Structure 1
Amino acid sequence: MTLGEFKGNSNLKRLNEIIRVLTKYEFGYIIEKIKLKDKIPFKHHSYEYESIEELDATLPLRLRHVLQELGTTYIKLGQTLSTRPDLVGDDIADEFSKLQDDNPPVDYEIMQSIVEEELGSSIDELFSSFEKEPLGSASIGQVHKAVLKTGEEVAVKIQKPGVKDLIKNDINIMRFLAARINDYIFPSRNYNLPGIVNEFERSILKEVDYGQEAMNIKRFDYNFKDDETVYVPKVYREYSTSKVITMELIGGKKVSDVINSDEGFDKELIAKRGVESYFKQVLIHGFFHADPHPANIYVLENNIICFLDYGMMGILDQEFRENLAELIIYFVEDSVKGMINQLIYMGIISENIDIKSFKYELTDLMYKYYGIGLNEMHGGMDDLISLMRKYHIQLPSEFVLLARGIGMLEDVGEKLDPNFNPVDAFKPMARTVIRKKVSPLKVVDFVKDNLFEVEHLMKTLPRNLSRTLYKIEEGKITLEVEHKDMERISNKISASLILAALLVGSSLIMQTDKGILILGFPFLGIIGFIVSMVLGLALVLSILKYREL
């Protein structure tokens, strides 16, 4: 989007509002640097801070205030970046984690009209009762308690009006500003702001699609269908759309309340089940809850775990899970060399970094945390991410989501059972993944997964082979050779041919008894072998010199 596209539409007003808020919190110098001061009118302001590189102590706080004041989309952006300390640094990530998503509720009459429009009937026809006061209200939606005609108590989450359009407009402006900052403020290129906006767009558009959340719950429920330690709320699809989702009302207690309670719960068992269920999601299912903070985890009777809010989920393919399992095995076996080799194999780090120094610092970190309880392990994931940032290692988004989830569970687990060691939970799961990878049945799975490709190959192979042979017979095969050191290569070929000719000729001469003889052998044959030996030795040395042997 160019600046001209903002004229004559509501985006221009929103852009002016963003500039006003940035100026209010002393970020006006950014507006000047990206060449917007003279093109968009805003009140003149003298800036206390004059450089984007000026990392004063108030920077994280001022950034948080900017996002909080700009509302829904920017709050969500900050919450997303709070999970990326590898991009924004620990201080900013910690500050962004304080962003509050609580919003005043929308009038009941407005939300009622949305429900009735989406579900195609009146509230009275759909529900036996529907409470006007919401159970909670966030920036995207709010939740009301209701009772179905069949008697089930449900929670109805309703998307607030205009949210999706607001988010799309804000993202367009974000993309515009990110591109200009990337063009005009050189240090910002290290953060790849356009890439961050694109990743955020994919994430938040999934979150505002309640139909996607319903599908996530269905898949999560299928994954845990045989696990009695995890409960998944039921979704009533006939009462759900992209803007309304109706699910079973969950009782029990939030895990944060269980931490402060001494009655009726086995905290050690809850910690164990929580961590085990999470690593089962990651290593076995490849589909995991990406936002397992205490408000999203409930504990039901018999210490059963129940996750809520399935809008943000992480997905890992089989290859990534297998590589991650191998990395975990190296970790539990305290093999720093194996971990580094695995990270290189996974493409997370390159051999261009100072491997020796990185290995030394990773060893120190391993010795600091290995084999200790959660009460002494707090901050371990933050330390690991800080080490990655120090060596400019860009972590994949999957790794960051995992780190965030592990960090949250680390905090909850420490409060539930300080002596619980998560290694005991994920080590057997990692070994299960490895055993499956090296199993002979893996070949069967590979053939099954690639059955159609194999079938297509078998069909086309005879025809393609026949065409190739025909072209060879007709002399129609064309080879394209890149011209690189061609003269050196041709010289070696010429020398090889001369060497071969000398050897053959000398061998034939040695079979005769004509001419001058030395020790019974023809003089010319001996000379030919000597010249061949010198030429062959020179050719071998040349090949070794250019590492082409």
Structure 2
Amino acid sequence: MGRLRRAFRIGWIALRYRLDTLIPIERLPFALALLMRFNPAQLFPLGHYTRGERLCLALEELGPIFTKFGQMLSTRRDLLPPDIADELRKLQDQVAPFPAAQAKATIEKALGMSVEEAFAEFESEALASASVAQVHAAKLHTGENVVVKVIRPGVEKIIKKDVQLLYMLARLMLRLVPDAHRLHPVEVVADYDISLMDELDLQKEAANTSQLKRNFLNSPLLYAPVIHWSFTRKNLMVQERIYGVPIAELDVIRSHKVNMKKLAERGVEIFFTQVFRDNFFHADMHPGNVFLDTSKPESPRYIAIDCGIVGSLSVEDQNYLARNLLAFFKQDYHEVARLHIESGWVGEGTRANEFAAAIRAVCEPIFEKPLKDISFGQVLLGLFQTARRFNMEVQPQLVLLQKTLLNIEGLGRQIYPELDLWTTAKPFLENWMKQRIGPRGILKKIQEKLPDWLEIVPELPQLAHEGLTQVRNLQQDQLQQRLALIKIADEMASSRRRNGQFLVGSLLLTLGLLSGVGELLMPLLDGDWQPWVLVGVGLLVLLRR
């Protein structure tokens, strides 16, 4: 019942803000376009809001999941009209804040002390407010400037209702759409559910931030703030206050004479470093979570916050992904097809040559364009549409990565429209593969495994003895089993012979008896034969058995 109520509320908000006006009617089939022109939503007034404001307000009122969808859309200005993109950008850190009194009550309950006891200074006005939490500026009694992040009251219940609705839609899709099983909609929603629940736990976010900081310690590429663990709880986090320029304020960044080309390329390098070197990537890098240290314009450094959603891959997926991307950059479509089959991303019965030809048909026209005009997102979409014919299934573990990559590309193109994502990424991937499978990579693996091997060395004689004993016991068991099988076979053969003799003797005895007493059977016997002969032979056969 709760899910139906939520579904009706979503429909009502969509009607109230006239989101139907955002649908391009001219691109719809005739029947659907006719239906849209006479839909009852037109009875609702448009009001004085622009279309971008109406969409932004509707997503904000619908709750965290829809707000996050808007945040993701806001990173792809290349796919949206400017007026809508500008409004959606506000969802990154300008969602309506909840009252400061609620924030203080949450802080005091979590810490078990008053705000004045915890902080030397605390600003009641929110510094920034997003869909799941908001932050307030503060100062510790030890003098450090910090930000205090507080989870929105009641947000967990709203998210759980929306996630249950997503599960319902995913299961409905499986029933109604024949090919939906290849998209793994339930598994995708389950992964998203886990990510959202992790984002509601600020202790996990704090741990992720600490890990990211450790991965890029003293790096010129990325900085992560310091966590103050003594003030951090599940619904509360206190971290170092950073003073960077929001990455969305491009005019301010340009006024600092920042090298925009290098800035965009470093963004790509950070992404691939996180995915392949660290296997730990920030999966929510929309512009509201990224700032810039402009103190060195020729060597700009990113500052990442809000590490609530992070991702990682299995070693196998990591390896296959790198090899797929390299093969794709080299336009080696047969290798791309082979890797997809080998990794299990498409069915085993898929013919590599046919799959390679289909990929070539999609990619060759794209590679003919200037590099600056190629969108990796469009390439991915084209490949997915092609792969449908080959029963390619969505890999839930890669969905988060694909979403992050699209965010990075969208952000990079805002910073430097001439960004060549592929050329920037290719040398990094080639170097990573050399380190992984080259002499250095092999030596590194040996060094990593050496302590384990050395630990086993003293036990090798005992292990060898136990292994030989097990082999010897196994051989004896096999010999005994063979002898038992031979014995059983002999007994079965002997039993069959005895049964045959019994049958023949019984038949002869019966025939003799019948011949001796029945005149009807006498013509069957020669004059030299007497019935007692048959009886005698039958008895002899039975006695031999």
**If the length of structure 1 is used for normalisation, what is the TM-score?**
0.67
Aligned partners of 2:341 and 2:347 also within 8 Å: yes
Per the alignment, residue 285 of structure 1 pairs with 278
Query: Greater shift after overlay, 401-410 or 141-150?
Result: 401-410
Kept in 2, the 8 Å contact 1:142–1:158? The answer is yes
Structure 1 residue corresponding to 2:100, chosen from 101, 105, 108: 108
Asked whether 1:323 is paired with 2:323, we answer no
Secondary structure of residue in 1 paired with 2:120: strand
Q: Which runs of 5+ in 2 are unaligned?
A: 16-28, 42-54, 483-545
Cα distance in 2 between the residues matched to 1:455 and 1:266:
55
Is the contact made by 1:353 and 1:391 (CA closer than 8 Å) also made in structure 2?
no
Structure with greater proportional helix content: 2
Please give the alpha-carbon distance, in whole angstroms, between the structure 2 residues aligned to 1:354 and 1:146.
Answer: 62
Preserved CA contact (<8 Å) 1:21 1:66: no
Q: How far apart, CA to CA, are the structure 2 residues paired with 1:461 and 1:289?
A: 47
Taking the aligned partners of 1:242 and 1:388, their CA distance within structure 2 comes to 39
Deviations 1:135-169 (A, max 9, x none): 22233211111112222222211012233344345
Q: Are 2:70 and 1:71 equivalent residues in the alignment?
A: no
Match of 2:387 in 1: 391
Q: Distance in 1 between matches of 2:358 and 2:338?
A: 15
Q: Secondary structure at the match of 1:262?
A: helix
- Name 1:441's counterpart in structure 2: 443
**What's 2:538 paired with?**
none
Answer yes or no: is the 8 Å Cα contact 2:283–2:310 preserved in 1.
yes
Q: Which amino acid aligns with 1:117?
A: K
- CA change 1:330–1:453 in 2 (3 A) is farther
Distance 1:71 1:269, change over 3 A: same
- Aligned residues with identical type, % of pairs: 21
The verdict on how the C-alpha distance between 1:202 and 1:128 changes in structure 2, with shifts beyond 3 A counting, is same
In structure 2, do the counterparts of structure 1 residues 315 and 140 end up closer, same or farther at CA, with 3 Å as the change threshold? Answer: same
Give 3-state SS (helix, strand or coil) of 1:17's partner. helix
Q: How far apart, CA to CA, are the structure 1 residues paired with 2:398 and 2:31?
A: 27
The question of whether the paired residues in 2 share the 8 Å contact of 1:374 and 1:410 is answered with: no
Asked if structure 1 preserves the Cα contact closer than 8 Å seen for 2:6 and 2:161, the reply is no
Q: What RMSD in Å do the two structures reach over aligned CA positions?
A: 4.2
Q: Where does residue 500 of structure 1 map in the other structure?
A: none
Shift of 1:460: 5.8
For 1:296, which of 274, 280, 289 is the aligned residue?
Answer: 289
Q: Is the 8 A contact 1:289 1:310 kept in 2?
A: yes
- Determine if the alignment matches structure 1 residue 20 to structure 2 residue 19: no
CA distance in 2, matches of 1:477, 1:432: 57
Give CA-to-partner distance per residue, 1:311-348, whole Å, 9 cap, x none.
11111233333332222322232211122212222222
The equivalent residue for 1:202 is 194
Decide which of 217, 232, 235 is 1:240's aligned counterpart.
232
Contact 2:362–2:382 (8 Å) recurs in 1: no
Q: Residues 36-435 of structure 1: matches in 2 within 5 Å?
A: 56=32, 68=59, 71-72=62-63, 74-75=65-66, 78=69, 100=91, 103-168=95-160, 170-172=162-164, 175=167, 178-179=170-171, 182=174, 191-258=183-250, 261-264=253-256, 265-300=258-293, 301-302=295-296, 303-353=300-350, 355-356=352-353, 358-370=355-367, 375-377=372-374, 379-392=375-388, 393-435=392-434
Q: 1:466 aligns with which of 466, 469, 472?
A: 469
Q: 2:138–2:145: 8 Å Cα contact kept in structure 1? A: yes
Q: Tell me which structure has the larger Cα radius of gyration.
A: 2
Partner SS, residue 155 of structure 1: strand
User: Using the alignment, how far apart are the partners of 2:167 and 2:130 within structure 1?
Assistant: 25
Deviation per CA, 1:45-91, whole angstroms, max 9, x where unpaired?
xxxxxxxx9995799x99x99994883354268569979xxxxxx99
Provide the C-alpha distance between the structure 2 equivalents of 1:269 and 1:159, rounded to a whole number of angstroms. Answer: 36
Are 2:289 and 2:305, in contact at CA under 8 Å, matched by a contact in 1?
A: yes
1:87-118 CA-partner distances (Å, limit 9, x unpaired): xxx99xxx999695764322211210111111
Shift of residue 239 of structure 1? 1.5
TM-score between both structures, scaled by the size of structure 2? 0.67
Instruction: Give the equivalent residue in structure 2 for 1:541.
Output: none
Change (3 A) 1:442 1:369: farther
SS at match of 1:200: helix
SS of the residue corresponding to residue 433 of structure 1 reads helix
Residues in 1 aligned to 2:399 and 2:71: alpha-carbon distance in whole angstroms: 11
CA distance in 1, matches of 2:239, 2:232: 9
CA distance in 2, matches of 1:434, 1:327: 12
| Inter-CA distance 140–467: structure 2 relative to 1 (3 Å threshold) | same
The count of corresponding residues between Structure 1 and Structure 2 is 431
Deviations 1:341-398 (A, max 9, x none): 1222222223545655542342244434449765312x33223223313432223234
1:19–1:423 CA distance, 2 compared to 1 (3 A): closer
Would the aligned equivalents of 2:245 and 2:252 in 1 still touch at CA under 8 Å? no
Contact 2:283-2:401 within 8 A present in 1 as well: yes
Distance 1:190 1:65 in 2: 32
Post-superposition offset of 1:444: 0.9
Query: CA–CA distance in 2 between the matches of 1:391 and 1:444?
Result: 38
Q: Which residue of 2 aligns with 1:538?
A: none
1:446, CA displacement in angstroms?
Answer: 6.5
Deviation per CA, 1:491-527, whole angstroms, max 9, x where unpaired?
Answer: xxxxxxxxxxxxxxxxxxxxxxxxxxxxxxxxxxxxx
